[in-house]
């Protein structure tokens, strides 16, 4: 693309909400007293794991497909994904009778791949990681005349996913802090856009895996940085940043926290125990960060965006075996 895509605004987010809510009901925002005790704060969980694909990204997929003209839908889209974005585009493509080709890494989560196929997408395995899959999209775009959809640098996706934060603040307008996971950055950028436009005093904190810190390093440097991707959290395993979300984050994000895989495993287990809900590792990242930031969050009204629940049985077994540190046991 020869020019930088436009940064969405609150007006775009509200317009997206009008589209998204035709197809997806608002997800619950539940309060859990056991999490309050754990964190010393008033804690609300935004249940994006209750979406039909089990993840927040479906909001962006629906908003994007709704804007696509009939000819583009017929020819189809191509995109790369480690799982949830691919499911989102597959679900939305089925909704709008469009063709979807999803390129996934060779080691992609089989549950997520099965879901993409169930929604009618064509799944292409290519490359050892997300970056290799993304590069292969360029070839398919040219060969087959497909419309490439970036999982991060696409304003319609960001405006769509930002509707999760719009819903949070419609339900609980006096939320003081929002913690949101970041892989590519659309969800975190969306949270910033919505929250800061509604109330600039709301603190937005992004959370990434320390084993895949590209977005964190880029945010720190205010410049493009890549990094190895060595985390078991598929939703956080992004080795290169997306610059449209980054530019939004540079202007609006309050803080950025890295958590390790052990902290993510503990957080998955705690959400199961204390909130009776299933989170994938990326979805548990906000709780992992909140546990680390307990002193800072004490007494505040906090929202954790549980971005998704697409966890494999093998990953879940690891999390159930996680030892909860004495420091955070009740």
- Burial profile 86-97: b = 16 or more Cβ within 10 angstroms, e = fewer: bbbbbbbbebbe
DSSP string, 209-231: ETTS-HHHHHHHHTS--------
Q: How many helices (H) and strands (E) does the chain have?
A: 16, 10
| CA–CA gap between residue 8 and residue 194 (Å, rounded) | 10
Residues 6+ apart with CB under 8 A from 137: 78, 79, 80, 103, 148
Q: Which residues are 190's β-sheet partners? A: none
Helix (H, G, I), strand (E, B) or coil at 128: coil
Residues with active-site annotation:
57, 307
DSSP-assigned beta bridge partners for residue 102: 79, 123
Burial (CB < 10 A; 0-12, 13-18, 19+), residue 276, is exposed
User: CA quadruple 52, 57, 59, 65: dihedral positive or negative?
Assistant: negative
Paired tokens of 43: 């804690």
| Dist CA 221 CA 111 (whole Å) | 36
Residue 107 — φ and ψ, nearest 5°?
-105, 25
- Helix (H) or strand (E) holding 266, with range, is helix 261-274
């Amino acid at each position: 693309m020869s020019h930088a895509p436009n940064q969405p605004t609150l007006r775009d987010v509200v317009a997206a909400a009008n589209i998204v809510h035709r197809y997806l009901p608002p997800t619950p925002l539940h309060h859990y007293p056991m999490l309050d005790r754990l964190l010393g704060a008033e804690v609300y969980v935004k249940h994006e794991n209750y979406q039909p694909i089990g993840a927040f990204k479906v909001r962006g997929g629906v908003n994007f497909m709704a804007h696509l003209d009939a000819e583009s839908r017929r020819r189809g889209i191509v995109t790369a994904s480690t799982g949830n974005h691919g499911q989102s585009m597959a679900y939305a493509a089925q909704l709008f009778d469009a063709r979807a080709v999803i390129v996934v890494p060779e080691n992609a989560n089989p549950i997520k791949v099965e879901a993409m196929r169930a929604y009618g997408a064509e799944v292409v395995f290519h490359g050892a990681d997300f970056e290799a899959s993304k590069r292969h999209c360029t070839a398919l775009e040219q060969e087959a005349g497909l419309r490439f959809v970036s999982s991060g640098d696409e304003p319609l996706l960001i405006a769509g996913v930002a509707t999760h934060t719009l819903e949070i603040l419609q339900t609980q307008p006096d939320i003081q802090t929002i913690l949101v996971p970041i892989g590519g950055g659309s969800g975190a950028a969306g949270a910033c856009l919505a929250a800061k436009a509604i109330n600039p005093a709301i603190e937005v904190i992004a959370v990434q895996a320390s084993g895949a810190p590209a977005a964190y390093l880029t945010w720190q440097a205010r410049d493009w940085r890549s990094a190895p991707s060595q985390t078991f959290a598929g939703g956080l395993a992004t080795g290169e940043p997306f610059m449209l979300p980054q530019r939004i984050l540079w202007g609006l994000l309050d803080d950025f926290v890295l958590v390790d895989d052990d902290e993510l495993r503990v957080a998955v287990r705690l959400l199961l125990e204390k909130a009776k809900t299933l989170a994938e590792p990326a979805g548990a990242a906000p709780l992992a960060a909140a546990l680390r930031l307990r002193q800072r969050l004490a007494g505040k009204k906090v929202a954790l965006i549980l971005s998704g629940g697409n966890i494999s049985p093998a990953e879940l077994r690891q999390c159930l075996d996680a030892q909860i540190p004495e420091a955070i046991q009740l």
